[in-house]
Structure 1
Amino acid sequence: MTVIGAIFRPQNPPERLRSVARAADEAGLEELWLWEDCFLESGIAAAAAALAWTDRLRVGIGVLPVPLRNVALTAMEIATLHRLFPGRVSVGVGHGVQDWMAQVGERVESPLTLLREHLDVLGALLRGQEVTTRGRYVQLDAVALGWPPPTPPLVLAAASGPRTLRLAGEAADGTILHAGMPLDLVRQARQLVDEGAEASGRTERHLLISYVQIHGNDREAAVEMARERARAGADHVVLEPARDEPDPEGFVRMAAEVGSVVGKD
């Protein structure tokens, strides 16, 4: 079964999130995804608000840029969300846009190394382990969460290039693909993350979450595009509105209708 979600773009003012989240919840949309783009809106703060305003809606953050965040803080925030809203949160991390990372003085020489270290430690902390590590970028001394989630959540990573996709398969439980990735690369991504998962001994299916941009509220086009990505190997298809979409509430209602069709396939 393919899970259908929709994105609330951070180009919308934060105060618009309440009505969009409630519209999504009332319409039966399964997932509402948020971004942490510089320098617009906080992913964690927005997710907490959306979860509190709704009853059943799952909320995803895709993604938190790891150069901006100490991994212990990321783990604390994710753990808190999971304890407050069990089973309703999905959080991904990624390289971040390198120009933005340079703007804040956090650009690193090896984004791939940083992401690997962050993923390994984040997963361990969320499993309730005490971590001491002296990595190139991530350094912790006997750090353990005081309130880890009762059930360790899935750790997701954003990826697009071959090396990052293999890393995501090795070190994460799922991968988020950006909306600009064509179908043939979605198929290639499915293969690469599965190769990475197999190489690291992971036996659970690696979740592939594919964004796809939809212009306007064209339900028929959205259904076809979602089905195409599902056939290419995506487990979750997340509909991304245009940057200037004037009716985000209508968009999430349309996405819920797409989910009622595609979810039956």
Structure 2
Amino acid sequence: MTGLGAVFRPQLPPERLREVARLADESGLEELWLWEDCFREGGLSTAAAALAWTERVRIGVGLLPVPLRNVAITAMEVATLHRMFPGGRAIVGVGHGVQDWMGQVGARVESPLTLLREHLAALRALLRGERLTVDGRYVKLDDVALDWRPEAAVPVLAGATGPRTLRLSGEAADGTILHAGTSPDGVRKARQLIDEGRESAGRTDPHEVVVYLLTATGPDAATRLRAELVAEGLDSVPDLGVAGDAGAVAKAVQRLAEAGADTVILQPTGDEPDPEGFVRFAGEEVRGLVA
């Protein structure tokens, strides 16, 4: 069955998260995703709070920008979440981050691909309980291991868009996060590139693909969806986003699933007037229509 979730967008103040997380937990959604967008809420602090406020729903962070985070700190934080909230309820993705934002804080690197490769390798090894000494271009560790390693395997996802990063995700990550500018055809192409990376690394383990779907519902849904696509420069991309009732949204989810998405995360528009109602709509109306 295709997994279904929703996004708590960081345009909302952090004090709104508790009610949204509670509704996601009660509504039947599998996942609630958070973003670490500069310069809004921190991804791991909000994830910890959402996990503490809920009992069932999985909480995803998509994604943590690796230029901002020493890999040892990332490993410590992720391991802590998984030990405090076992059962795979915490999902963490890492990625390049928005390069302009990285430049604003003095963290932009010459080779984002090299940094992501080194970060993924070290993060996954640390979470497996390995002791590392690494002297990479960006990642440098001297006899580092976690004292409190996770008690179960922790998948690490990577956010990816371009061909080289998609291949790297297949090679070095356990799953891939695709942004809301990805159409069904884009999912098919991404799957192909991910599989090329997996083949080059000799990987045969599962690889989850998570896709955001820009979604609007209500009387002004089409207008809000169109405005956001125009603002993001995506209005010329065919078959992108969905506006309408639960049936229309479920069909759009199914198209992404048929293209290769394992989990689809409904992303409300930035001006969604009722975030709590959006989560309730996703869980109570859309969830039952998705195969």
Fold match by TM threshold 0.5:
yes
CA contact (8 A) 1:216 1:242 kept: no
- 2:9 aligns with 9
What runs of 5+ residues in structure 1 fail to find an aligned partner? Answer: none
SS at match of 1:238: strand
Output the CA distance in 1 between the equivalents of 2:281 and 2:246.
6
- 2:238 aligns with none
**Where does 1:108-123 land on structure 2 (aligned, <5 Å)?**
108-123=109-124
Output the CA distance in 2 between the equivalents of 1:55 and 1:121.
31
Task: Kindly provide the amino acid, as one letter, of the partner of residue 137 in structure 1.
Answer: Y
CA contact (8 A) 1:132 1:141 kept: yes
- Most deviating of 22-31 and 111-120: 22-31
Deviation string for 1:95-144 (max 9, x for gaps)? 00000000000000000000000000000000000011000000000000
Matched, 1:258 2:259: no
- 2:229 aligns with none
- Most deviating of 30-39 and 175-184: 175-184
Output the CA distance in 2 between the equivalents of 1:43 and 1:160.
20
1:216 is displaced (CA, Å) by 2.5
CA contact (8 A) 1:194 1:206 kept: no
- 1:192 aligns with 193
SS at match of 1:246: coil
- 2:108 aligns with 107
- 2:203 aligns with 202
- 2:266 aligns with 239
Output the CA distance in 2 between the equivalents of 1:258 and 1:193.
29
CA contact (8 A) 2:2 2:257 kept: yes
Task: Kindly provide the amino acid, as one letter, of the partner of residue 5 in structure 1.
Answer: G
- 1:37 aligns with 37
Output the CA distance in 2 between the equivalents of 1:146 and 1:208.
31
Aligned-pair identity (%): 67
**Where does 1:125-144 land on structure 2 (aligned, <5 Å)?**
125-144=126-145
1:244 is displaced (CA, Å) by 0.8
1:221 is displaced (CA, Å) by 2.1
SS at match of 2:61: strand
Output the CA distance in 2 between the equivalents of 1:159 and 1:253.
29
Output the CA distance in 2 between the equivalents of 1:116 and 1:216.
39
What runs of 5+ residues in structure 2 fail to find an aligned partner? Answer: 219-244
Output the CA distance in 2 between the equivalents of 1:242 and 1:219.
16
1:36 is displaced (CA, Å) by 0.1
CA contact (8 A) 1:47 1:61 kept: yes
- Most deviating of 122-131 and 220-229: 220-229
Task: Kindly provide the amino acid, as one letter, of the partner of residue 194 in structure 1.
Answer: D
CA contact (8 A) 1:10 1:34 kept: yes
Output the CA distance in 1 between the equivalents of 2:121 and 2:289.
37
1:260 is displaced (CA, Å) by 2.3
1:204 is displaced (CA, Å) by 1.4
SS at match of 1:239: strand
CA contact (8 A) 1:126 1:153 kept: yes
Output the CA distance in 2 between the equivalents of 1:225 and 1:82.
32
Deviation string for 1:206-242 (max 9, x for gaps)? 1110101001253122101100100000000000000
CA contact (8 A) 2:175 2:208 kept: yes
1:205 is displaced (CA, Å) by 2.1
- 2:125 aligns with 124
Task: Kindly provide the amino acid, as one letter, of the partner of residue 261 in structure 1.
Answer: L
How large is the RMSD of aligned CA atoms in angstroms? Answer: 0.8
Equivalent in 239, 243, 254 of residue 227 of structure 1: 254
Output the CA distance in 2 between the equivalents of 1:221 and 1:137.
46
Q: How many residues align?
A: 263
Stretches of 4+ aligned residues off by more than 4 angstroms = none
